[in-house]
Structure 1
Amino acid sequence: MTNAQLTDVLFGYGIPATEAADLLAISRSVSVERDEYYLASGQIPKKMAFNLKGLFRYVYLDAKGNEFTKSVILEYNVLASYSAMLHQTPSYFAIQALEDSQVLEVPYQEWLRLKDTNRFWDLFLIRMLEKGFCVKEKRERDLLLLDAETRYKNFLVEFPGLEHRLTWQIVASYLGIKPESLSRIRKKMAG
């Protein structure tokens, strides 16, 4: 992508042209192939990224190799294991590309310097953290209070068309159920 194209995409994040230029000066555009891990579990993150194009997930792996999809990250969202990056500790989850994707990668130390030079970035960070907090709070509430069928129906409403971009195993993992249970729910809804 050219800088003009990147600036246009960053505008979708609500970043004005001057701030976009500052961000582009410290970042680089990176391609991430489908199934590639942008961040491995256990890695200490040194970077974050703006998802320009593609689809990612945050995924936990248990000792038996079972996967638990924490989040699905669409375009115009930030990719980061922020608490691990902030504390310079290993990330508990991995960030995996689910499609061939394009991100704008920002080194964490450069990000900190940028934030120190312009108050806009503190406000931007607060807005991104608030957005993430609201998503996390709703997801926790849904997992605790709703049955699997209702969670699936809500998923279809909240993310129209996303089920066509994900495997059924990942949809089931996101919903906190087994693929066989999702199959039964889908069959019941179709009949």
Structure 2
Amino acid sequence: MKEALLNIMPKDKVEALLSISQVKNLKAGEYFIRAGDVPKNFAFVLSGFFRYVYINNKGDEFTKGLIMELDFISSYSAMISRSPSHFFIEAMEDAVILNIPYQKWLVLQETDVFWIKFLLKSIEKGFSKKEKRERDLLLLNAETRYLDFLKEFPGIDKRISQAIIASYLGIKPESLSRIRKNLST
């Protein structure tokens, strides 16, 4: 656990973060946050991966994002505004996270400017990913999005269902099957 954090911050900062956090295990299919919950925590993914998913009143699922190991999961805008989350955060396989209470995080930020800079870098990284994803959905065809997906998330197509991949790409599973068939010929 410490080793993973040492990849992104100095040892003394790891100790400070661990002092306010708790390791938590989640099973595949378990939710870190449910739509409608007011989140009070965010987490660092130590192992496993997660998806952000909207579910409409018909039960249709729309995968907003995939969050891999060594990254943060959060319904950030809901957490900072103390309002209900609009999406679920689902463990896609058994996972281990470092659960971080937001109020304790705020206190940590007050004690050391490092944490403000760290937060800014994390937000910039998330914003850049979101901007790229929006651009891809608006400008690229489905086949190109699928090929880019395979490059961005190597091997993930063997870890999740084709339906979830299609949901992430913004297409129907039948369209993904057609794309995969065309690429294999």
Q: TM-score range by the shorter chain?
A: over 0.9
Aligned length: 185
1:50 Cα offset (Å)? 0.2
Aligned equivalent of 2:123: 129
Aligned counterpart for 1:31 among listed residues 25, 35, 52: 25
Matched residues in 2 for 1:156 and 1:65: separation? Answer: 27
Q: Deviations over 1:134-182 (max 9, x none)?
A: 0000000000011111100111111111111111011000000010100
RMSD value over aligned CA atoms?
Answer: 0.6
Aligned equivalent of 1:69: 63
Once the two structures are superposed, the pairs formed by residues 42-191 of structure 1 within 5 Å of their partners are 42-191=36-185
TM-score normalized by the length of structure 2: 0.99
Matched residues in 2 for 1:189 and 1:126: separation? Answer: 40
Aligned equivalent of 1:7: 2
SS of the equivalent of 1:69 reads strand
Matched residues in 2 for 1:178 and 1:30: separation? Answer: 34
Matched residues in 1 for 2:147 and 2:4: separation? Answer: 31
Matched residues in 1 for 2:101 and 2:53: separation? Answer: 22
Matched residues in 2 for 1:115 and 1:165: separation? Answer: 36
What one-letter code is carried by the residue in structure 2 that aligns with 1:17?
A: K
SS of the equivalent of 1:35 reads coil
Matched residues in 2 for 1:76 and 1:157: separation? Answer: 18
Q: Which runs of 4+ in 1 moved over 2 A?
A: none
Aligned equivalent of 1:22: 16
TM-score normalized by the length of structure 1: 0.95
Aligned equivalent of 1:3: none
The percentage of counterpart residues that share the same residue type is: 52
SS of the equivalent of 1:45 reads coil
Q: Which runs of 5+ in 1 are unaligned?
A: 1-5
Matched residues in 2 for 1:72 and 1:124: separation? Answer: 21
